[in-house]
Chain A
C-alpha cells in the first residue's frame, strides 16, 4: 500500500534507473529549451511566510484592471454579465461541488437530474431535439461537431465561415492535423453593413465532398445572419450545417440556429452563470437533431423509471463513449464541465424564459445606444448593419495601440482585430466592442470621450 509521503532522493534515483533516465530534467527534453524555465520566476520571492506571500501576490494582482471596476467593452467569445449571488452560493453546496462523474445512478440522482435539466435547457435554447451534458468549452465543442459531421456524412472537408472565432479555427486546425480533415478557411473582411459575413463564399464552396459548413451567429464581428438559405444549400448537397453561438444571451432575441435548419448547434455557455475567470474553465454547449444522437460525443443523461415505476435519471447511450467503446468511441471526451454547466443551468432557471428575453432586450438596447454614441466620434465608423450586443468599429488609425492607450487610462475599450488576426493587415483598424447589461451610459460616455482624444 502506497503511503502518501514525499519521495526521497533514493526513491527518485530508483525510479529513474528503472525507466532509464539519468535525471528528472531528462523527462522534459521534448519541451523546446527556450520554453523551459531555467531558474526562479523573476519577481517572486523564493520562500516567505503566508502573510508576506499574500501581501506580495495582492500587490501583483492590483496591477490588473478588474473587469467589474472599469468601463469594460471586451467580448469576442467571453462576456461580462451579472451573475446572481445565489448561483455561486448554490453551486458550492457540497453535494454538487465535490460530486464525481455519475456512473452510479443509485447514488447520483441529484447530479444526474441537474444535468438532465441542463440538457433540456440547452436543447430548447439552441433549437435542437437533444443536447449533451456539456463539453469543455465552445472551441472544443465546435471541433467535436466537425468530427461528428465527418462520421455522419463519411466526408472529410469542412468549410469554415470567415466569421468563426479565430481561436475556434485554431483548435480545428490543430485537431485536423491528426484526423486528416480538410478545412476550407478564410479571414473576415470589414465589409460595411455585414462585417465578417461570407455567405456567398460558403454557398459557392459547398460540393459533394463537403461534410459540413461551420458558421457562427452572431459572428466574430457581431453581425447577425439568417442561416436558413445556408442550411438548405448544405442539405441539398448532403452536407450538414453546424452553427456556433458564442453569446447564448443573444438567443433571447435572435432566432435559434436549430430553428433556422442547423443540424448541429454548439456554443460557449460562459455568458450564463460562469464568470470571465481569465479565460476558463468555461462550458461547451452541444446539441443536434435526434437522428444523429448516436454520433454525438460526450455524456448524455436520460430520464427513466426505477423498479417501482418512480422517475429517475441515468447516463444513457454510453456505448458511444470511451469507457465502453474504447478507441472506437465518438470522442476522446470522457468528462464534462459539470460545475460550470450547473452554474449555467441555475442562472438560466433564475432568469426564466421571460427573464432571458428581457436580459437580451437590455443588452441589445444598450449596445444600440452605445453604437450610436461611438459612431458619432470623429474617426470612428460603425460597420454593422445588424448586431446583438457586440459590433465592429473601423477607427481612423490602427486599433491595437489605441486599446493599449485606453487601458493605461483604466478603460478596457474592446478587442482589437490586430490582436485576433495579427497577420491580416486589412483588419488592423478594426475594434470589436461588446456592451451588456453591466455597461452603464457613463461607461459609454467615458469610452467615447477617450476615443475622441485618441483619434484627434
Chain B
C-alpha cells in the first residue's frame, strides 16, 4: 500500500487497483470545524484535477479535487452523520471516497509523504 499527496492537499492511498481519497491533516486544520461533506456517489466518474467532492467548514466551502482519474466505488457514508471525522481522523476514518483507478501512471506526478511534508513547510 502506498500513500501520495497533491498540492491541493488531498491524499490518496493505493492498494491494488483500488484507492482511498481524503484531505490531509494540514487541510483540515486550515479549514477548522468541518460541518458538512458532499461526496460523489458510487459510479461517478472523476477526472484528475477536477472537482470530486465538497467540504464545508464553519469558515468556508471548498472543493476537493480528484488526485487521479477513475470511477468511484464507495462513498464514505459515515461523513453524513459525523462530518467531524474529517477533523479527528483526516487520514483515517475521515476518508471521502474509494476509487477504481483508470490510469495508475497518473500517480507518478504526486508527492510522497516526505515530499508533501516539505511542501507544507514552504506554505
Q: Could you give, for residues 52-92 of chain B, a 1 whenever the CB lies within 8 Å of some chain A CB and a 0 otherwise?
A: 00001000110100000000000000000000000000000
CA distance A324 to B62 in the complex (A): 10
Is the Cβ of A319 less than 8 Å from the Cβ of B63? no
**Which chain A residues lie closer than 8 Å to B56 at the CB level?**
319
Say yes or no for B38: interface residue by CB 8 A criterion. Answer: yes
Closest beta carbon of chain A to B59's beta carbon, Å: 9
Say yes or no for A325: interface residue by CB 8 A criterion. Answer: yes
Is the Cβ of A328 less than 8 Å from the Cβ of B38? no
Q: Could you give, for residues 315-331 of chain A, a 1 whenever the CB lies within 8 Å of some chain B CB and a 0 otherwise?
A: 00001100011001000
**Which chain A residues lie closer than 8 Å to B60 at the CB level?**
319, 324
CA distance A12 to B56 in the complex (A): 46
Closest beta carbon of chain B to A331's beta carbon, Å: 14
CA distance A319 to B38 in the complex (A): 13
Which parts of A310-347 form the interface with B (CB within 8 Å)? 319-320, 324-325, 328
Say yes or no for A56: interface residue by CB 8 A criterion. Answer: no
Say yes or no for A294: interface residue by CB 8 A criterion. Answer: yes
Chain A interface extent, by class: under 10
| CB-nearest residue of chain B to A329 | B61
Say yes or no for B36: interface residue by CB 8 A criterion. Answer: yes
Q: Which of B36, B38, B61 contacts A324 (CB 8 A)?
A: B61
Closest beta carbon of chain B to A103's beta carbon, Å: 15
CA distance A370 to B56 in the complex (A): 55
**Which chain A residues lie closer than 8 Å to B38 at the CB level?**
294
What is the size, in residues, of chain B's interface with A at 8 Å between Cβ atoms?
6
Q: Which of A294, A320, A324, A328 contacts B63 (CB 8 A)?
A: A328
- By CB atoms of chain B within 10 A, which of A294, A319, A324, A325 has the most? A319
Closest beta carbon of chain A to B76's beta carbon, Å: 17
| CB-nearest residue of chain A to B58 | A319
Main secondary structure of the interface of A (DSSP, over half): helix
**Which chain B residues lie closer than 8 Å to A294 at the CB level?**
36, 38
Closest beta carbon of chain B to A254's beta carbon, Å: 35
Which parts of A287-302 form the interface with B (CB within 8 Å)? 294
Closest beta carbon of chain A to B23's beta carbon, Å: 16
| CB-nearest residue of chain B to A318 | B61
CA distance A435 to B31 in the complex (A): 56
Which parts of A94-119 form the interface with B (CB within 8 Å)? none
Which parts of B18-48 form the interface with A (CB within 8 Å)? 36, 38
| CB-nearest residue of chain B to A326 | B61
CA distance A324 to B61 in the complex (A): 7
**Which chain B residues lie closer than 8 Å to A319 at the CB level?**
36, 56, 60-61
CA distance A319 to B59 in the complex (A): 8
Closest beta carbon of chain B to A171's beta carbon, Å: 27
| CB-nearest residue of chain A to B44 | A154
**Which chain B residues lie closer than 8 Å to A324 at the CB level?**
60-61
| CB-nearest residue of chain A to B57 | A319
Closest beta carbon of chain B to A289's beta carbon, Å: 16
CA distance A325 to B36 in the complex (A): 14
CA distance A324 to B38 in the complex (A): 17
CA distance A335 to B63 in the complex (A): 24
CA distance A319 to B61 in the complex (A): 6
**Which chain A residues lie closer than 8 Å to B63 at the CB level?**
328
**Which chain A residues lie closer than 8 Å to B36 at the CB level?**
294, 319
CA distance A294 to B38 in the complex (A): 10
**Which chain A residues lie closer than 8 Å to B61 at the CB level?**
319-320, 324-325, 328
CA distance A339 to B63 in the complex (A): 35
CA distance A294 to B56 in the complex (A): 11
| CB-nearest residue of chain B to A321 | B61
CA distance A296 to B60 in the complex (A): 17
Q: Could you give, for residues 388-416 of chain A, a 1 whenever the CB lies within 8 Å of some chain B CB and a 0 otherwise?
A: 00000000000000000000000000000
CA distance A320 to B60 in the complex (A): 10
Binding site for A on B (CB under 8 A): 36, 38, 56, 60-61, 63
Given contacts A294-B36, A328-B63, 9 further A-B contacts (CB under 8 A): A294-B38, A319-B36, A319-B56, A319-B60, A319-B61, A320-B61, A324-B60, A324-B61, A325-B61
Q: Could you give 8 example pairs across A and B, Cβ below 8 Å?
A: A294-B36, A294-B38, A319-B36, A319-B56, A319-B61, A324-B61, A328-B61, A328-B63
5 smallest beta-carbon distances between A and B, as pairs = A319-B61, A319-B56, A325-B61, A324-B60, A324-B61
